[in-house]
């Protein structure tokens, strides 16, 4: 992940609604703290539910959603 974050424009935002296991969480924290990334919105985590002491809960640049990205209503005409 660190290599991917370094290739993104400085200040880019990350949205992960796919698989929590695809994200190296420590690399994300480093990228946010350094300013490489400006924000992250996460619907999935490596371990769910996240423990109460997980650093993502209190990080000011991370927004967590409760794993609901797949819950959509089909469109009808």
Which of the residues 7, 19, 22, 59 is marked catalytic? 19
Q: Report pLDDT for 69.
A: 63
Partnered with residue 16 across adjacent β-strands are 42
Q: Report pLDDT for 72.
A: 64
Residues of the chain with pLDDT under 50: none
Domain locations in the chain as residue ranges? 2-64
User: Residue 11: how many CB atoms within 10 A of its CB?
Assistant: 10
43 φ/ψ angles, rounded to the nearest 5 degrees? -105, -10
Q: Give the predicted TM-score (pTM) of the model.
A: 0.83
Torsion of CA 70, 26, 57, 53, to 10 degrees: 120
Active site residue 19: yes
């Amino acid at each position: 992940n660190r290599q991917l974050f370094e290739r993104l424009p400085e200040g880019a935002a990350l949205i992960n609604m796919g698989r929590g296991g695809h994200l190296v969480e420590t690399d994300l924290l480093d990228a946010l703290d350094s300013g490489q990334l400006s924000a992250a919105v996460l619907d999935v985590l490596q371990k769910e539910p996240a423990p109460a002491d997980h650093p993502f809960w209190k990080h000011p640049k991370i927004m967590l959603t409760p794993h609901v990205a797949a819950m959509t209503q089909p469109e009808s005409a």
